Amino acid sequence: MNGAGPPATNAGDTAWLLGSAALVFVMNPGLAFFYSGLVRRKNTLNTLMMTYVAMGIGGILWMLAGYSLAFAPGSAFLGGLKWLGLSGVGAAPEPAYAATVPHLAFFVFQGMFATITPALISGAIVERMSFRAYILFIGLWSLAVYAPVAHWVWGTGGFLRGWGALDFAGGTVVHVTAGTAALVAARILGARQDHKRIALIPHNVPYVLLGSGLLWFGWFGFNAGSALAANGVASLAFVTTNAGAAAALLTWLLLENHFGGHATAVGAATGAVVGLVGITPGAGFVSPLSAIAIGALTALASFTALRLRARTSLDDTLDVFACHGIGGITGSILTGVFASKAANPDGGNGLLAGGAALLGIQIGAVAIVFLYTAVATAAVLLLVKAVTPLRVELRAELEGLDRQVHGEEAYRGGSAAGGLGESVILLPSERFPGSERT
């Protein structure tokens, strides 16, 4: 009797995963446009560049070391060095993760997550952080925070995975880490010079809508691709992703209209993104109806957090913590409420399905990831500060980072500090939370 041969790849699963990786890649320019539309025109290119440079840094670091530290066999806290520089990663599947696709396909799909996660942080520190310091920061952060947390939750032998913590596509690994890092970075950098002195409003709302639309489109690969096969779970995740985003969008507009009297375009875009964040950890573990509840509840939590932040001195420029941090925390905890083995036998039963223990596990996992990320992010920033200043000079901040840092301008003519038609849409944040970043 012949022994079992090497695992065979499935063409459909491989095509689906590679296509999903491409969809996640599209989220990077989507994020760039989403963020750049929310800042002042004098910082448009710098904001775009913070996402684009992350694509370069993430692509190289993930290949050289990040992937091995996250997924290679190692300890309960960190992967080993077996796959450094993609050594041993080839066309044959890696059964520990995805038995029907080439190992390289799994690597590149996960690499897209590793690329966009540090880029999310940039929204909290745009308009004032040194580009040189930012490049060094996200490189170190990717290795010190993202890779270990990915191993804890998804890697073979990771201790949170061993606990039974559920994170289908990155609620804790991506959004809790990025949101927490954004909170810490914004606090350490301090506020912009004109924070709370003048209204700092989005300069290009169409960019915001375009960016959120690209994010929504790419998120289908982000979540449904995390099934790692073209199967029923991928179909479930696709449907729940759309349902969560739609529910959050509508909830956000209702809240805006109630508290401010208007349903804004920026609010619609923000609500959709918050819903996508919230459904991410449970996309393949909950029913479509549960996804509606998760989207609505996540929108409520993030909307409330954004309003509370506006009353503080914290200058989280684009409210990354309120949207991604609170969204990821809420979605991860709600996965412990709504998850059901009826939806996915490989998942778990949450509180509503009689599994109270899962809710406790989800809360514990979120708390651990939050605390580790906060401490590690502060340490990385202090290390970077010892090498190079974290902030740009005052002149660069006042004149705009596009000219001072990149020697380019997004627009010709008009005031560099202003925007296009901004005098028409000048609105106080208390009346229209979510449509203005103060």
- Which pLDDT tens digit goes with each residue over 349-386? 999 999 999 999 999 999 999 999 999 999 999 999 99
How distant, in Å, are the alpha carbons of 63, 86, 160, 235, 379 from that of 155?
16, 16, 9, 24, 24
For the whole prediction, is pTM greater than 0.75? yes
Helices (H), 172-231: 177-189, 205-224
d(CA 262, CA 430): 12
The superfamily (CATH) of domain 11-78+93-424 is Ammonium transporter AmtB like domains (1.10.3430.10)
Please give the pLDDT value at position 433. 40
Least confident window among 223-232, 290-299, 407-416? 407-416
Q: Which pLDDT score, from 0 to 100, does residue 196 have?
A: 80
**The tokens 């996804």 sit on which residue?**
291
* 430: pLDDT strictly greater than 60: no
pLDDT per residue as tens digits for the range 198-243: 777 899 999 999 999 999 999 999 999 999 999 999 999 999 999 9
Give 107-146 pLDDT, tens digit per residue: 999 999 999 999 999 999 999 999 999 999 999 999 999 9
pLDDT in tens, 12-71: 999 999 999 999 999 999 999 999 999 999 999 999 999 999 999 999 999 999 999 999
Rounded to whole angstroms, the Cα distance separating 250 from 257 reads 11
Three-state DSSP class for residue 318: coil
- pLDDT higher than threshold 70 for residue 424: no
pLDDT tens digits, one per residue of 239-279: 999 999 999 999 999 999 999 999 999 999 999 999 999 99
Q: What is the pLDDT of residues 76-91, one digit of tens each?
A: 999 999 999 999 999 9
CB 351 within 8 A of CB 337: yes
Residue 4 pLDDT level (bands cut at 50, 70, 90): low
Backbone angles phi, psi at 315, to 5 degrees: -105, 70
**Contact call for residues 126 and 43 (beta carbons, < 8 A):** yes
Q: How far apart are CA 335 and CA 240, in angstroms?
A: 12
Query: What's the pLDDT band for 413 if we cut at 50, 70, 90?
Result: low
CA 352 to chain centre: 27
Residue 94 has pLDDT above 60, yes or no: yes
CB 372 within 8 A of CB 179: no
3-class secondary structure, 427: coil
**C-alpha to C-alpha distance for 107 and 85, rounded to whole angstroms:** 11
**Residues whose CB falls within 8 Å of the CB of residue 2, separated by 6 or more in sequence, listed in order:** none
pLDDT of residue 321: 98
- Return the SS3 of 6: coil
Percent of the chain with pLDDT over 70: 92
- Section 404-426 average pLDDT: 60
- In 155-204, alpha helices (H): 159-163, 177-189
- Helices and strands, counts by H and E, the chain: 17, 0
Per residue in 150-197, pLDDT tens? 999 999 999 999 999 999 999 999 999 999 999 999 999 999 998 888
Contacts of residue 124, defined as CB under 8 A and 6 or more positions apart, other chains included, come to 182, 183, 185, 186, 316, 317, 318, 320, 321
Tell me which residue of 71, 117, 120, 122 sits closest to 97, measured CA to CA. 71
Q: Which is it for the CA torsion 287, 289, 292, 298, positive or negative?
A: negative
- Nearby residues of 412 by Cβ (< 8 Å), 6 or more positions away: none
